Chains A and B, each alone.
Chain A
Amino acid sequence: MGALELKNVTKAFGTTEVIKGVDLTVNDGEFCVFVGPSGCGKSTLLRIIAGLEDATAGDILLDGKRVNDVAPAKRELAMVFQSYALYPHLTVRDNMGLALKQAGQSRATIQAATDKAAAMLSLEPLMDRRPAELSGGQRQRVAIGRAIVRTPKLFLFDEPLSNLDAALRVATRIEIARLHRDLKATMIYVTHDQVEAMTLADRIVVLRAGRVEQVGSPMELYNNPANTFVAGFIGSPQMNFLDAAALGFAPGQVGIRPEHLEISQTAGAIPAEVSHVEKLGGETLVYARSPEHGLLTVRLFGEHHYQVAEPVWLTLQYARAFQFAPDGKRRS
């Protein structure tokens, strides 16, 4: 039995269905990431789990108990929001201790719990400040601290890194991963960023338009995508899709990741013309336009020198290519 179970959960706002029947089990201690493009229902699903929205149909089970009608505060979970959502009138310490105070814990217990969380996140020097006096990264650490203090059964993260700048985002990501190792708690994390999903998750749930497209570990999704949507969403830069018929396969699409496409200035299977080159130092991305397949991305490691408008030849590593039927499903 899992820490969290969703059974055929649906949610409709008026007549528009945003969650169309989701079944999911999240195991104890697992780091589960919901990923998908904006509007796919991932945040709504998280809010249903939190109890902030009611499911239109279906059951939500926490530790085997049905919690559909249990108030958010009684579900023993903690949530970290994208906008931090710190209480502006309270100090960092009071922000972190509020939930315990509401639950009627003693002053000493609250003090001990907040001190412990502060030590984990190195927030000690900030404990008597108000949110207005903190930087964005500090605020998000306080928000995470507020969640830790409650020692919840389930942590919910709603795009917690989206408001941080790139460097801080990487640092906070590592911090969250470390917290998960230390606390061994069950965590559900919502993001639209597939890099966050790949780096943090034990298991990724890919959502599209209110449906689960595929569930699996990051490497399962990378090496074994169920359909073109998952194949395109997981992995960066995005997978190339080629016309299967033109390559001599059954009609549909052939997917090949940019790192599995070879480029040559002399010979190869597909003629193309370089349309843009991105040099990132450690790797080089070559965008080449083929008359039959459109724009294709090639990922090369190290520095390479290609000129725009230069004719090149591309070759697929067929062992790493995926075949998809015209409806987008993977051909086995």
Chain B
Amino acid sequence: MSARLSPGRTIAAHAILIAWTLVALFPVFVIVINSFKSRKAIFADPLALPLPGNFDWVGYETVLKQGDFFLYFQNSLIVTVASLFFVLLFGAMAAFALSEYRFRGNTLMGLYLALGIMIPIRLGTVAILEMMVASGLVNTLTALILVYTAQGLPLAVFILAEFMKSVSDDLKNAGRIDGLSEYRIFFSLVLPLVRPAMATVAVFTMIPIWNDLWFPLILAPAEETKTVTLGAQVFIGQFVTNWNAVLAALSLAIVPVLVLYLIFSRQLIRGITAGAVK
């Protein structure tokens, strides 16, 4: 991108970006403001801000009292963080092998691993459920972690392999001549250099896992393994929906994922990578 865009184009670009930001943030905004309002106020004027006249904590009170929300949060966090850890670890290792070593079937293996990007894992739900039943993993968090790790790996391998190809061969070879093991080369030379890519993959992987309703509902619907998105469903009934509670639960669910996002986005700054190789 040239730094010297004409002012007209700069303004147009910003206008488009701001418009898109507003569109993307609007539903979140509506959820958050309505979670602080009384039931009547939500229906009377959904777009009104929570002011002293219609302000109400009732949604949050319900969420914190009814149902075991701290447990749900804990479950969601365990599943997301553990899946993320495994996706990044195994994804990076597979990507390193694919980009660094020449072996028979290297390209085919890469394509096979990337195939998962195009085929939704949900098509295999029945088979997955049968497998989980057979291995006695139904209603455990392990079941979810395994499924999400599988779901996240294809994209992780694909993106990281591309980035690892760009890491200087000389640097890895210098490590080999200095007697570093392949594991040291991977963990202390290559991984720090692909940190921005790791952060990107982490963000892409984390959000679908955190938001998923499908697999928790099918594989782990028990009270003690419920995730936040599944937990919030108790307030949605066939005849009556407790909107205050649903909106409060969703608002709360945004917070942890936002914190994780902030952590990863800081990694996107390249920092110490400059100056390794010219």
- Interface residues, chain A, CB within 8 Å of chain B? 47, 50-52, 71-74, 77-79, 81-89, 98-99, 102-103, 130-134, 136, 139, 146, 158, 163
Kindly identify which residue among B168, B177, B274, B276 contacts A73, using a CB–CB cutoff of 8 Å.
Answer: B177
Known: A51-B177, A74-B179. 15 other contacts (CB 8 A): A50-B173, A51-B176, A72-B177, A73-B180, A83-B277, A85-B170, A85-B277, A86-B276, A87-B189, A88-B273, A98-B180, A102-B180, A132-B275, A139-B278, A146-B178
Please list 30 pairs of residues, one from A and one from B, whose beta carbons are closer than 8 Å in the complex, sorted by A's number: A47-B173, A50-B177, A72-B176, A72-B177, A73-B176, A73-B179, A74-B179, A79-B173, A79-B174, A79-B177, A81-B174, A83-B277, A83-B278, A84-B278, A85-B168, A85-B171, A85-B276, A85-B277, A86-B171, A86-B275, A86-B276, A87-B174, A87-B276, A89-B192, A98-B180, A130-B275, A131-B276, A133-B275, A146-B178, A158-B170
Residues of chain B lying within 8 A (CB to CB) of residue A146: 174, 178
Kindly identify which residue among A77, A85, A89, A163 contacts B173, using a CB–CB cutoff of 8 Å.
Answer: A85
Task: Please give the distance in Å from A84's CB to the nearest CB on chain B.
Answer: 6
Say if the beta carbon of B188 comes within 8 Å of chain A: yes
Residues of chain B lying within 8 A (CB to CB) of residue A132: 272, 274-276
Task: Please give the distance in Å from A174's CB to the nearest CB on chain B.
Answer: 21
Say if the beta carbon of B193 comes within 8 Å of chain A: yes
Within 8 A of A (CB), among B220-250: none
The 10 tightest CB contacts between A and B, nearest first, are A132-B275, A73-B179, A88-B276, A102-B179, A85-B170, A81-B170, A85-B174, A99-B178, A83-B277, A85-B171
Contact B272 A52 (CB under 8 A): no
Residues of chain A lying within 8 A (CB to CB) of residue B192: 88-89
Residues of chain A lying within 8 A (CB to CB) of residue B277: 83-86
Task: Please give the distance in Å from A282's CB to the nearest CB on chain B.
Answer: 32
Known: A72-B176, A78-B177, A102-B178. A131 touches B275 (CB 8 A): yes
Residues of chain B lying within 8 A (CB to CB) of residue A86: 171, 174, 275-277
Give Cα A2–Cα B98 distance, bound, in whole angstroms: 39
Give Cα A141–Cα B192 distance, bound, in whole angstroms: 24
Residues of chain B lying within 8 A (CB to CB) of residue A136: 278
Kindly identify which residue among B170, B273, B275 contacts A82, using a CB–CB cutoff of 8 Å.
Answer: B170
Give Cα A173–Cα B188 distance, bound, in whole angstroms: 32
Give Cα A102–Cα B180 distance, bound, in whole angstroms: 7
For chain B, the count of residues having a C-beta within 8 Å of the partner chain is 22
Kindly identify which residue among B177, B188, B273 contacts A77, using a CB–CB cutoff of 8 Å.
Answer: B177
Residues of chain A lying within 8 A (CB to CB) of residue B275: 86, 88, 130-134, 139
Residues of chain B lying within 8 A (CB to CB) of residue A83: 168, 170-171, 277-278
Task: Please give the distance in Å from A288's CB to the nearest CB on chain B.
Answer: 41
Within 8 A of A (CB), among B165-186: 168, 170-171, 173-180
Give Cα A139–Cα B180 distance, bound, in whole angstroms: 21
- The chain A residue sitting closest to B189, CB to CB, is A87
Kindly identify which residue among B173, B179, B189, B274 contacts A81, using a CB–CB cutoff of 8 Å.
Answer: B173
- The chain A residue sitting closest to B173, CB to CB, is A52
Give Cα A39–Cα B176 distance, bound, in whole angstroms: 24
Contact A89 B179 (CB under 8 A): no
Give Cα A133–Cα B272 distance, bound, in whole angstroms: 10
Contact A98 B278 (CB under 8 A): no
Give Cα A77–Cα B179 distance, bound, in whole angstroms: 11
- The chain A residue sitting closest to B178, CB to CB, is A99
Give Cα A158–Cα B173 distance, bound, in whole angstroms: 12
Give Cα A149–Cα B273 distance, bound, in whole angstroms: 25
Task: Please give the distance in Å from A60's CB to the nearest CB on chain B.
Answer: 15
Residues of chain B lying within 8 A (CB to CB) of residue A50: 173, 177
Within 8 A of A (CB), among B56-78: none
Residue from B175, B189, B278 whose CB has the most chain A CB atoms within 10 Å: B278
- The chain A residue sitting closest to B192, CB to CB, is A89
Give Cα A77–Cα B274 distance, bound, in whole angstroms: 28
Residues of chain B lying within 8 A (CB to CB) of residue A158: 170
Task: Please give the distance in Å from A126's CB to the nearest CB on chain B.
Answer: 13
Task: Please give the distance in Å from A329's CB to the nearest CB on chain B.
Answer: 37
Give Cα A52–Cα B176 distance, bound, in whole angstroms: 8
Residues of chain B lying within 8 A (CB to CB) of residue A47: 173
Task: Please give the distance in Å from B278's CB to the nearest CB on chain A.
Answer: 5
Contact A163 B177 (CB under 8 A): no
Contact A87 B171 (CB under 8 A): yes
- The chain B residue sitting closest to A97, CB to CB, is B178
Kindly identify which residue among A52, A87, A99 contacts B179, using a CB–CB cutoff of 8 Å.
Answer: A99
Give Cα A79–Cα B170 distance, bound, in whole angstroms: 10
Task: Please give the distance in Å from B1's CB to the nearest CB on chain A.
Answer: 24
Residues of chain A lying within 8 A (CB to CB) of residue B274: 88, 132
Task: Please give the distance in Å from B83's CB to the nearest CB on chain A.
Answer: 28
Interface string of B130-167 (1 = CB under 8 A from A): 00000000000000000000000000000000000000
Give Cα A72–Cα B178 distance, bound, in whole angstroms: 8
Interface string of B239-275 (1 = CB under 8 A from A): 0000000000000000000000000000000001111
Residues of chain B lying within 8 A (CB to CB) of residue A82: 170
Give Cα A83–Cα B171 distance, bound, in whole angstroms: 8
Give Cα A65–Cα B186 distance, bound, in whole angstroms: 31
Residue from A83, A88, A89 whose CB has the most chain B CB atoms within 10 Å: A88
Contact B278 A163 (CB under 8 A): yes
Residues of chain A lying within 8 A (CB to CB) of residue B189: 87
Residue from B168, B171, B276 whose CB has the most chain A CB atoms within 10 Å: B276
Residues of chain B lying within 8 A (CB to CB) of residue A87: 171, 174-175, 188-189, 276
